[in-house]
Protein backbone atom coordinates (compact mmCIF):
# COMPACT_ATOMS: atom_id res chain seq x y z
CA UNK A 1 0.00 0.00 0.00
CA UNK A 2 2.74 2.47 0.90
CA UNK A 3 4.56 1.87 -2.39
CA UNK A 4 1.46 2.77 -4.38
CA UNK A 5 0.48 5.84 -2.42
CA UNK A 6 1.55 9.29 -3.47
CA UNK A 7 2.13 12.39 -1.42
CA UNK A 8 1.74 15.95 -2.58
CA UNK A 9 4.50 18.18 -1.35
CA UNK A 10 3.81 21.68 -0.19
CA UNK A 11 5.63 24.21 -2.29
CA UNK A 12 7.17 27.40 -0.99
CA UNK A 13 4.62 30.06 -0.10
CA UNK A 14 6.86 32.95 -1.00
CA UNK A 15 6.41 34.45 2.47
CA UNK A 16 9.49 34.40 4.67
CA UNK A 17 9.80 35.64 8.20
CA UNK A 18 12.32 38.45 8.52
CA UNK A 19 12.83 38.46 12.30
CA UNK A 20 12.78 35.94 15.13
CA UNK A 21 9.47 35.56 16.98
CA UNK A 22 7.48 36.95 14.06
CA UNK A 23 5.64 33.61 13.78
CA UNK A 24 5.69 30.74 16.27
CA UNK A 25 4.16 27.36 15.45
CA UNK A 26 2.95 25.29 18.40
CA UNK A 27 1.49 21.84 18.96
CA UNK A 28 0.56 19.68 21.93
CA UNK A 29 1.59 16.05 21.70
CA UNK A 30 -0.05 13.48 23.92
CA UNK A 31 -1.47 11.55 25.68
CA UNK A 32 1.74 9.52 25.42
CA UNK A 33 1.21 5.74 25.72
CA UNK A 34 4.18 5.53 28.10
CA UNK A 35 4.87 8.07 30.82
CA UNK A 36 8.30 9.62 31.09
CA UNK A 37 10.40 8.85 34.16
CA UNK A 38 9.04 12.05 35.77
CA UNK A 39 5.41 11.26 34.93
CA UNK A 40 5.01 13.57 31.93
CA UNK A 41 2.45 12.42 29.39
CA UNK A 42 1.96 15.61 27.31
CA UNK A 43 4.56 17.57 25.42
CA UNK A 44 4.31 21.08 24.00
CA UNK A 45 6.57 22.16 21.15
CA UNK A 46 7.20 25.66 19.84
CA UNK A 47 8.97 26.33 16.52
CA UNK A 48 10.18 29.74 15.39
CA UNK A 49 9.50 30.17 11.66
CA UNK A 50 12.54 32.42 11.14
CA UNK A 51 15.31 30.71 13.11
CA UNK A 52 13.83 27.17 13.01
CA UNK A 53 14.62 26.85 16.72
CA UNK A 54 12.52 24.23 18.50
CA UNK A 55 11.60 24.44 22.17
CA UNK A 56 10.20 21.35 23.88
CA UNK A 57 8.30 21.46 27.18
CA UNK A 58 6.98 18.37 29.02
CA UNK A 59 3.70 18.62 30.91
CA UNK A 60 1.82 16.33 33.25
CA UNK A 61 -1.66 17.73 32.51
CA UNK A 62 -3.07 19.06 29.25
CA UNK A 63 -4.63 21.91 31.21
CA UNK A 64 -1.09 23.19 31.97
CA UNK A 65 -0.51 24.22 28.32
CA UNK A 66 -1.38 27.88 28.92
CA UNK A 67 1.12 28.07 31.80
CA UNK A 68 3.74 26.38 29.62
CA UNK A 69 3.11 28.95 26.87
CA UNK A 70 3.47 31.79 29.36
CA UNK A 71 6.83 30.37 30.57
CA UNK A 72 7.96 30.05 26.94
CA UNK A 73 6.82 33.57 26.10
CA UNK A 74 8.71 35.15 29.01
CA UNK A 75 11.84 33.14 28.19
CA UNK A 76 12.06 33.89 24.44
CA UNK A 77 11.01 37.52 24.70
CA UNK A 78 13.87 38.11 27.13
CA UNK A 79 16.28 36.06 25.02
CA UNK A 80 15.51 37.89 21.75
CA UNK A 81 14.59 41.29 23.29
CA UNK A 82 11.37 41.48 21.29
CA UNK A 83 7.75 40.36 21.52
CA UNK A 84 6.10 37.37 19.86
CA UNK A 85 4.00 38.70 17.00
CA UNK A 86 1.90 35.68 15.88
CA UNK A 87 1.27 32.17 17.19
CA UNK A 88 -0.15 29.45 14.97
CA UNK A 89 -1.53 26.30 16.52
CA UNK A 90 -4.20 23.74 15.82
Could you state, in chain order, the average pLDDT of each consecutive group of 10 residues for the chain (90 residues)?
56 72 93 85 94 93 95 96 93
**pLDDT of 35:** 81
Residue ranges of the domains in the chain? Answer: 23-89
Cβ atoms within 10 Å, residue 35: 11
**pLDDT of 57:** 95
23-89: CATH topology: Nucleotidyltransferase; domain 5 (3.30.420)
Q: Are 69 and 5 in contact (CB under 8 A)?
A: no
Number of H helices, E strands in the chain: 1, 4
Q: What is the pTM of this model?
A: 0.79
Amino acid sequence: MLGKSSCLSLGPTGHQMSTPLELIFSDVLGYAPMLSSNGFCYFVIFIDAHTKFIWFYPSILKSDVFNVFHQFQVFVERQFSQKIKYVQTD
